[in-house]
Chains A and B, each alone.
Chain A
Amino acid sequence: MARGNKNATIIPGFGLTLGVTVAWLSALVLVPLVLLFVRTTALSWPKFVEIVTDERAVASYKLTLGCALAAASLNAVMGSIIAWTLVRVEFPGRRLLDAVVDLPFALPTAVSGIALTAVYSRNGWIGQALGFPVAFTPLGIMVALTFIGLPFVVRTLQPAIEDLDPGVEEAAGILGASRMQTFFRVIAPALLPSLITGFALAFSRALGEYGSVIFISGNMPLRTEITPLLIVTKLEQFDYAGATALGAVQLTASFLMLFSINLVQWWTARKTGVR
């Protein structure tokens, strides 16, 4: 607030704190990331293409992308309903459910993985009732990715719903809009940027997820093997070139998602005129 436009400040520690920050990020994040791409370029182009377009690799991309997309979409729908309910509807136990939404952030992924497998396997509590197999099929991967992505959508939407002015909805109603019209013309446009951000965060997390998936997926090559698992498999076989090439693909996907999320946020900030 008080910072204004002045460049001179009497506060000390600029060199020290920025120095530590930059040195830290360079050593731990930047240099290793650059190294990954340098190592990838050390492979000949045909060799790189051969690794990343291998039948098993392509099958893993399709599976990972498809399941991540399905899970993020389900989360966008259910996350919206849950966020709306938690903000706007008073009911006993609301506070508790609100806290529980963060469980996927707090529960270690390996624990989530074995718990979901136990519940959704053929003789598990929910798997029994469903009548079709979930665990060890792509459907199981989707369950795990839905679990891991839910809080991203709910936590991104909640502040946006809290900021909505109920007066505007009432005004729309008084002016003769039906409930549906109010929803699609007034509420939905105001929430859309947050929904897109939440969806993108959930999708991005799902693309790289490992721990919660590998127990429930069954890990059959070409059928239920996600890309991160293929990277681990290659590392365990000491196929460093293969792991590096697939790692570069995985990392490029993450960067593209990070870039898109920043773009959405920049676009929203410009549209709403904040900052």
Chain B
Amino acid sequence: MKWRVLLVGLTVLFLSLFLLVPLAAILVEALRKGAGAYVRALLDPDAMVAIRLTLLCASIAVVASVIFGICAAWAVTRFRFPGKSLLLTFIDLPFAVSPVVAGLLMVLVFGGQGWLGPLHLGVLFATPGIILATIFVSFPFVARELIPLMQEQGTEEEEAALLLGASGWQTFVRITLPKIKWGLLYGVILANARAMGEFGAVSVVSGHIRGRTNTIPLHVEILYNEYNFVAAFAVASLLALLALATLGAKALLEWKLRRDAEAAQREAGA
């Protein structure tokens, strides 16, 4: 009994000091000067531009993550080929690389003295560069969810559909997609959270042009460095709410995925 109280006490204390108190601080700091100042910070034209840019980048990055994730998971879980484990390592690489290095890579490719620099593609310090950096840091999320899921599900049902005369695309849409939809959604939620919140990589490639190339996290940084704390925390609270929504959706999907897996197990056992 004493052990349990000690364990729970330590857990609550540590999670409070490092996670809960800072989270609460965001909301308190944002509302320090009342609801008026809070709303004004969000309706500021530069903030609106940042919100629009973040939504644009995140939606493109999520679509990219889905396309890559489905292709990679299909190739890896449906076929045997040499170099598969190396391929899996490369898929995880963006998570191992510092976001700052990810940004640096974009600069080396597209920068003035970069590899494609002479083409003057207008990627760096502009929207395309921000989109590319966002894709780089978020594209593996869907693949990472789908690969173990599709591995476990096997290919029997797809083979049956194909033998009965369905085309490859029909088989994917009618058989595979319904089986992986929740796992896919889980990956999308994680990719979206990372894409909307990415700071380091985007910061390097954006050039910080206010009202032009600022995403929400970069806008927060600028406001903070101008000592405009209330506005900084107000805009940050949007991202904190996004994080809470992400955690809620994640918990719900985990519960659902576990229930589906248990149902499948019961079916297999019966």
Task: Please give the residue numbers on chain A whose beta carbons come within 8 Å of chain B beta carbons, in ascending order.
Answer: 1-3, 7, 9-14, 16-18, 20-22, 24-25, 28-33, 35-36, 39, 78, 81-82, 84-86, 89, 91, 95, 97, 99-112, 114-116, 118-119, 124-126, 143, 146-147, 150, 204, 207-211, 215, 228-229, 231-232, 235, 240, 243-244, 247, 250-251, 254-255, 257-258, 262
Q: A13-B168, A108-B196, A254-B96 are in contact. Are A243 and B11 (CB under 8 A)?
A: no
Q: Is B156 an interface residue (CB 8 A)?
A: yes
Note all chain B residues with C-beta closer than 8 A to A215: 224
The reply to whether B236 and A14 form a contact with Cβ atoms under 8 Å apart is no
Chain A residues whose CB sits within 8 angstroms of the CB of B96 once the complex forms: 204, 254-255, 257-258
One digit per residue, 1 when the CB lies within 8 angstroms of any chain A CB and 0 when it does not, for chain B 98-124 equals 111101111111010101000000000
Q: How many angstroms from the CA of A1 to the CA of B155 in the assembled complex?
A: 8
Is A106 within 8 A of B12, CB to CB? no
8 Å CB interface, B151-210 against A = 154-156, 158-159, 162-163, 168, 172, 190, 193, 196-200, 203-204
Please name all residues of chain A whose beta carbon is closer than 8 Å to the beta carbon of B76 when the two chains form the complex.
21
Give, as a whole number of angstroms, the nearest-CB distance from B200 to chain A. 4
A240 to B105, CA, bound (A): 11
Q: A3-B154, A84-B7, A209-B98 are in contact. List 13 more A-B contacts (CB 8 A).
A: A9-B159, A13-B78, A13-B168, A17-B78, A39-B108, A81-B10, A82-B11, A100-B15, A103-B247, A231-B101, A232-B204, A250-B98, A254-B96
Given contacts A29-B93, A106-B246, A244-B108, contact A115 B25 (CB under 8 A): yes
Are the C-beta atoms of A17 and B104 separated by less than 8 Å? Answer: no
Contact, CB under 8 Å: A35 / B109 = yes
Name the one of B25, B72, B242, B251 contacting A118, with C-beta atoms under 8 angstroms.
Answer: B25
In the complex, A247→B108 CA distance in Å?
Answer: 11
Interface of B is mostly: helix
Binding site for A on B (CB under 8 A): 4, 7-8, 10-12, 14-15, 17-23, 25-26, 29, 67-68, 70-72, 74-76, 78-81, 87, 89-94, 96-101, 103-109, 111, 113, 115, 132, 135-136, 139, 154-156, 158-159, 162-163, 168, 172, 190, 193, 196-200, 203-204, 216-218, 220-221, 224, 229, 232-233, 236, 239-240, 242-244, 246-248, 250-251
Q: Which A residues touch B109, using CB under 8 A?
A: 31-32, 35
A269 nearest CB across to chain B (Å) = 12
Residues of B contacting A12 with CB < 8 Å?
Answer: 162, 168
Q: Would you call A89 and B4 a contact (CB within 8 A)?
A: yes
A82 to B67, CA, bound (A): 37
Q: How far is it, in angstroms, between the C-alpha of A14 and the C-alpha of B75 when the chains are bound?
A: 6
Cα distance A157–B234 when bound, in Å?
36
Known contacts A11-B158, A107-B23, A251-B97: does B139 contact A28 (CB below 8 Å)? yes
Q: Could you tell me if A211 and B199 are in contact, using CB atoms closer than 8 angstroms? A: yes
Q: How far is the CB of B172 from chain A (nearest CB, A)?
A: 8
Contact B15 A101 (CB under 8 A): yes
In the bound complex, what is the Cα–Cα distance between A209 and B107 (angstroms)?
19
Question: Does the CB pair A147–B18 fall under 8 Å?
Answer: yes
Would B197 and A111 count as touching, CB distance under 8 A? yes
**Given contacts A10-B162, A89-B8, is CB(A25)–CB(B14) below 8 Å?**
no
Given the contacts A10-B163, A13-B74, A110 and B220 also touching, CB distance less than 8 Å: yes
Q: Is the CB of B7 within 8 A of A89?
A: yes
Give, as a whole number of angstroms, the nearest-CB distance from B149 to chain A: 13
In the complex, the answer to whether A208 meets B79 with C-beta atoms within 8 Å is: no
Q: Which residue in chain A gives the minimum CB-CB distance to B197?
A: A108
Given A114-B220, A254-B96: A36 touches B105 (CB 8 Å cut-off)? yes
In the complex, A16 Cα to B22 Cα: how many Å? Answer: 47
Q: Select one of B18, B22, B190, B236 contacting A150, CB under 8 A.
A: B18
Q: Are B115 and A35 in contact (CB under 8 A)?
A: yes
Distance in Å from the Cβ of B175 to the closest Cβ of chain A?
11
A-B contact pairs, 17 of them (CB 8 A): A14-B81, A18-B79, A78-B10, A82-B14, A97-B11, A104-B19, A107-B239, A108-B216, A110-B217, A119-B21, A124-B25, A147-B18, A208-B99, A211-B203, A211-B217, A232-B204, A247-B101
Tell whether, in the assembled complex, residue B71 and residue A210 are in contact, meaning their CB atoms are under 8 Å apart. Answer: no
With a cutoff of 8 Å between Cβ atoms, the chain B residues found around residue A95 in the complex are 251
CB contact under 8 A between A107 and B14, given known A3-B154, A211-B99, A240-B107: no
| Complex: A7 Cα to B78 Cα, angstroms | 10
Please indicate the chain B residues that have their CB under 8 angstroms from the CB of A258 in the complex.
89, 92-93, 96
Q: Are B199 and A30 in contact (CB under 8 A)?
A: no
Task: Looking at the assembled complex, report how far the CB atom of B39 sits from the nearest CB atom of chain A, in whole angstroms.
Answer: 19
